[in-house]
Chain A
Amino acid sequence: MAHENIKVNLYVWRQNGPNDPNAGIKVYSDLEINTHMSFLEMLDVLNTHIIENKDKYPEGPVAFEHDCREGICGACSLVINGRPHGPMQGTTTCQLHMRHFNNGDNIYIEPFKAKAFPMIKDLVVDRSSFDKIIQAGGYISVNTGGTPDGNAVPVPQDVSSEAMDAAACIGCGACVAACPNASAMLFTSAKVSHLGLLPQGKTEAAIRVKRMVSQMDNEGFGLCSNVGACEADCPKEISINNIARMNRAYISSTFTNDH
């Protein structure tokens, strides 16, 4: 693989706090980067450059979120050229590499947009509405006492695979960012499916779906219009079949339960 340096022009959303009247795109031209860098390393280079040239860039370094940088934690976000986590299929921002960009490219970097993800600073938004949805029903009951036998509960292989596919959701919020309605249906349905499919999660299955959907509504997410942009941009490729499953569970939990 060639060791290559390219120059890119970054169009970065800058916003100094939730209510900054001067918020907008700022252009950083001719940033020289190595194609082996990940997208976040490229932003590290940009920030080093900004810090080293304080006089030229009084706005200071760009705030962005990151943690594991290996595609499993869900901390990184960013809408890159109009797509959450950038142009690559099934890839988080931290796993997106600069070799997918060309010399002279203009790259738009924006925060996730949704009323339920309030702006904090620059590219950082508050995604704790997802935590509240999890708190509303993302748990299972377990027996107290001694350590249970690992194989005591039989789980069929296909059920386990299906639940695992849903459990792959890292809760990054790309589904909300991709959705024209800022709907959190893919996230919520992934969690409802992951727990509801497995025998361990059946106890609360009916009440879980109602509580999580109700919390999702309270957080101010939009309504799903089955566009499918979430599924296309999800870094973990969660299927919208989960949404249908959640709709099914919600309707049946409403009409078949006595409470």
Chain B
Amino acid sequence: MKWIIEFLLSSLGKKLIMSLTGLFLCLFLVVHMLGNLQLFLPSPEGMPEGYVFNMYAYHMTHSSLIKIISYGNYFFILLHALQGILITVYNRKAKGGKYQGKGVSDTAAKMASRNMIFLGVLLLAFIGLHMYQFWAQMHFNSEMPVMAGIIEDGEEVKDLFAIVSVAFKQPWVVIVYLISLLALALHLVHGFWSAFQTMGLSNNKYGPIIRFVAMAYAILIPLGFATMPIVFFLFY
């Protein structure tokens, strides 16, 4: 057992934790985005607006499998954040100060890679807001609106669609979401590639492919999420 602890506490082990938790969260983002895009699906004949999305939300909150995965997800978010903060603090100490000369190498060292902690803390704050706005309402708000006349397994189905459409009618919410999604894009473009580099999977052959996929992923995922506040703000 000692070797596992030694490995996890080594510099490379610590980085591998960042890498694997980060990739799990990348996978989560895909599922989360696809699930939430159901906001745009038309309701079946005679059903209220947002029926498909609300039924999806109902089943997500009533499945024990999803419950286990979601606890894993919260844990990985916290682990990723905590580990990231600890590493940053350690690294700042290891550096021992900045240079007064202002030149920065121009061939590499993109802005995102140097600001992962800043972007990460911003995203953590956003996750807090986001969960308060929707997750907490779904779980703890006793006055949550329900879909009129829809009963599933003898229970009323909560109208999360209504909460979403009200939230995204407020300009500040839309602006905060779009800024956070931009931060997400920057965090992902470095993080996605970086995860593979840390696992040792990047080389001359795979490196360019991983960078391309990272770029595509970092554009498509935030863009997919951004459609929701934008479309709701403009058209609903």
**Chain A residues packing against B (C-beta within 8 Å):** 11, 25, 79-83, 87, 89, 108-110, 113-116, 178-183, 213-214, 216-217, 220-229, 231-233, 240-241, 243-252, 254
Report the bound CA distance from A250 to B100 in whole Å: 36
Asked whether any CB of chain A lies closer than 8 Å to the CB of B103, the reply is yes
**Chain B residues packing against A (C-beta within 8 Å):** 3, 7, 10-12, 14-16, 87, 90-91, 93-110, 113-114, 116, 190, 193-194, 197-204, 207
User: Total A-B pairs in contact (CB under 8 Å)?
Assistant: 147
Contact assessment for B105 and A241 in the assembled complex, using a CB-CB cutoff below 8 Å = no
Chain B: which residue is nearest A210 at the CB level?
A: B10
Contact assessment for B94 and A182 in the assembled complex, using a CB-CB cutoff below 8 Å = yes
Contact assessment for A224 and B102 in the assembled complex, using a CB-CB cutoff below 8 Å = no
Contact assessment for B11 and A216 in the assembled complex, using a CB-CB cutoff below 8 Å = yes
Report the bound CA distance from A247 to B98 in whole Å: 28
Report the bound CA distance from A222 to B104 in whole Å: 19
Chain B: which residue is nearest A250 at the CB level?
A: B12
Helix, strand, loop or mixed for chain A's interface?
mixed
Contact assessment for B15 and A223 in the assembled complex, using a CB-CB cutoff below 8 Å = yes
Chain B: which residue is nearest A185 at the CB level?
A: B11
Chain B residues, CB < 8 A from A250: 10, 12, 200
Chain A: which residue is nearest B108 at the CB level?
A: A228
Contact assessment for B109 and A232 in the assembled complex, using a CB-CB cutoff below 8 Å = yes
Contact assessment for A245 and B203 in the assembled complex, using a CB-CB cutoff below 8 Å = yes
Known: A225-B116, A226-B113, A250-B12. A182 touches B96 (CB 8 A): yes
Chain B residues, CB < 8 A from A249: 200
Chain B residues, CB < 8 A from A178: 105
Report the bound CA distance from A220 to B116 in whole Å: 21
Known: A108-B99, A222-B95, A227-B114. A248 touches B200 (CB 8 A): yes
Chain B residues, CB < 8 A from A251: 12, 16, 199-200
Report the bound CA distance from A56 to B193 in whole Å: 54
Q: Could you give 8 example pairs across A and B, Cβ below 8 Å?
A: A82-B99, A180-B95, A181-B91, A226-B194, A231-B108, A232-B106, A243-B197, A254-B3
Contact assessment for B108 and A227 in the assembled complex, using a CB-CB cutoff below 8 Å = yes
Report the bound CA distance from A24 to B116 in whole Å: 30
Contact assessment for B101 and A81 in the assembled complex, using a CB-CB cutoff below 8 Å = yes
What's the nearest-Cβ distance from chain A to residue B191, in Å? Answer: 9
Partner of A114, one of B95, B106, B198, B202: B95
> Lowest 7 CB-CB distances: which A-B pairs, in order?
A248-B200, A108-B101, A228-B108, A82-B101, A222-B94, A247-B200, A232-B105
